[in-house]
Amino acid sequence: MLESLRLSAQTSSPVQNYINYLHDKYINLKEGNVADYIPELAKVYPDWFGICLASVDGKIYEVGDTNQSFTIQSISKAFAYGIALEDNGLDKVIDKVSVEPSGDAFNSISLEEGSGRPFNPMINAGAIAVVNLIQGVTPEQKFNRILERFSQYAGRALSLDRNVYESESKTGDRNRAIAWMLKNFNIIEAHQDPMNAIDAYFRQCSIAVNCRDLALMGATLANSGTNPLTGQVCLEPKYVTNVLSVMGTSGMYNYAGEWVFRVGLPAKSGVGGGIVAVLPGRLAISVFSPRLDKLGNSVRGIAVCSDLSANFDLHLFNAPTSTSPIRLSHNASQVSSSRLRSPIEVDFLSKQGQRIRLYELQGNLTFSTTEICVREIVEGVKGIDFLIIDFKRVLGIDPAACWLLANLFENLTESDSFEVVLTHLDSVRPFEDYIQEKCSDRLSQKVKLFIENDFAIEWCETQLISRELSPLHLLEEFCPLQEQQLCVGLSEEEIRCLHSFLELRSYSADDVICHKGEKADEVFFLLKGEVMVVISLQDGKQKRLATITPGMAFGEIPLVGIFERTADIIVPRHSECYVLSKVQFERLSVEQPALKGKILTNLCRILFERLRKANKEIEFLCH
**Which one among 124, 196, 309, 370 touches ligand GLN, defined by CB under 6 A?**
124
Q: How far is the CB of 107 from ligand GLN (least distance, A)?
A: 6
Residue type, 444: S
Residue type, 77: K
Q: H-helix or E-strand containing 581?
A: strand 568-581
Q: H-helix or E-strand containing 532?
A: strand 522-536
Residue 175 interacts with ligand GLN (CB under 6 A)?
yes
Taking Cα atoms as reference points, which of 76, 296, 45 lies closest to residue 208?
Answer: 76
Residue type, 572: P
Which H, E and C letters describe 346-395, residue by residue? HHHHHHHHHHEEEEEEEEEECHHHHHHHHHHHHHHCCCCCEEEEEEEEEE
Of 258 and 503, CB closest to ligand GLN: 258
Residue 118 interacts with ligand GLN (CB under 6 A)?
no
**Which one among 17, 20, 73, 167 touches ligand GLN, defined by CB under 6 A?**
73
Of 201 and 391, CB closest to ligand GLN: 201
**Which one among 62, 65, 168, 199 touches ligand GLN, defined by CB under 6 A?**
168
Of 76 and 336, CB closest to ligand GLN: 76
Q: How far is the CB of 288 from ligand GLN (least distance, A)?
A: 13
User: Residue 539's CB: how many other CB atoms inside 10 A?
Assistant: 5
Per-residue x/- track, 218-257, ligand GLN (CB under 6 A)? ----------------------------------------
User: Residue 482's CB: how many other CB atoms inside 10 A?
Assistant: 15
Of 248 and 555, CB closest to ligand GLN: 248
Q: In what order do the strands lie in the sheet with 207-209?
A: 70-71, 207-209, 159-160
Residue 102 interacts with ligand GLN (CB under 6 A)?
no
Of 250 and 602, CB closest to ligand GLN: 250
Q: Integer distance in angstroms from the first to the last C-alpha of the chain?
A: 35
Q: How far is the CB of 204 from ligand GLN (least distance, A)?
A: 9
The SS3 assignment for 130 reads helix
Q: Environment class of residue 526 by beta-carbon count within 10 Å: exposed (0-12), middle (13-18) or buried (19+)?
A: buried
Question: Is 329 a catalytic site residue?
Answer: no
Question: Is 322 a catalytic site residue?
Answer: no
Question: Is 578 a catalytic site residue?
Answer: no
Residue 214 interacts with ligand GLN (CB under 6 A)?
no
Residue 435 interacts with ligand GLN (CB under 6 A)?
no
Of 122 and 567, CB closest to ligand GLN: 122
| Residues 401, 413: Cα–Cα separation, whole Å | 18
| Residues 448, 459: Cα–Cα separation, whole Å | 10
Residue 150 interacts with ligand GLN (CB under 6 A)?
no
Q: What are phi and psi of 494, to 5 degrees?
A: -65, -35
Residue 106 interacts with ligand GLN (CB under 6 A)?
yes
Of 266 and 353, CB closest to ligand GLN: 266
Q: How far is the CB of 92 from ligand GLN (least distance, A)?
A: 24
| Residues 465, 471: Cα–Cα separation, whole Å | 8
CA distances from 197 to 181, 192, 200 (A): 13, 9, 5
| Residues 199, 598: Cα–Cα separation, whole Å | 100
Site residues for ligand GLN, 383-412, by CB under 6 A, read: none
Q: 271, 335, 428, 523: which one is catalytic? A: 271
Q: 18, 26, 77, 93: which one is catalytic? A: 77
**Which one among 66, 74, 250, 575 touches ligand GLN, defined by CB under 6 A?**
74
Taking Cα atoms as reference points, which of 381, 386, 394 lies closest to residue 432?
Answer: 394
Of 205 and 260, CB closest to ligand GLN: 205
Question: Is 55 a catalytic site residue?
Answer: no
Q: Yes or no: say if 560 and 525 are a contact pair by the CB < 8 Å rule.
A: no
Q: How far is the CB of 292 from ligand GLN (least distance, A)?
A: 9
| Residues 431, 428: Cα–Cα separation, whole Å | 6
DSSP state of 539: T
Site residues for ligand GLN, 285-314, by CB under 6 A, read: 296
Q: What are phi and psi of 392, to 5 degrees?
A: -55, -40
Question: Is 43 a catalytic site residue?
Answer: no
Of 227 and 269, CB closest to ligand GLN: 269
Of 125 and 569, CB closest to ligand GLN: 125
Q: How far is the CB of 274 from ligand GLN (least distance, A)?
A: 9
Q: How far is the CB of 168 from ligand GLN (least distance, A)?
A: 5
Residue 169 interacts with ligand GLN (CB under 6 A)?
no
Residue 143 interacts with ligand GLN (CB under 6 A)?
no
Q: Yes or no: say if 320 and 312 are a contact pair by the CB < 8 Å rule.
A: no
**Which one among 121, 251, 264, 270 touches ligand GLN, defined by CB under 6 A?**
270
Q: How far is the CB of 311 from ligand GLN (least distance, A)?
A: 28
Residue 151 interacts with ligand GLN (CB under 6 A)?
no
* Number of residues engaging ligand GLN in binding (CB under 6 A): 11
Which H, E and C letters describe 455-522, residue by residue? HHHHHHHHHHHHHHCCHHHHHCCCCCHHHCHHHCCCCHHHHHHHHCCCEEEEECCCCEEECCCCECCE
The SS3 assignment for 548 reads strand
Residue 163 interacts with ligand GLN (CB under 6 A)?
no
Q: How far is the CB of 8 from ligand GLN (least distance, A)?
A: 36
Q: 55, 61, 74, 534: which one is catalytic? A: 74
Question: Which residues face 20 on adjacent strands?
Answer: none
Residue 273 interacts with ligand GLN (CB under 6 A)?
no
Residue type, 276: V
**Which one among 33, 107, 368, 411 touches ligand GLN, defined by CB under 6 A?**
107
Catalytic machinery residues: 74, 77, 201, 253, 271
Question: What residues make contact with ligand GLN under the rule CB under 6 A?
Answer: 73-74, 106-107, 124, 168, 175, 205, 270-271, 296
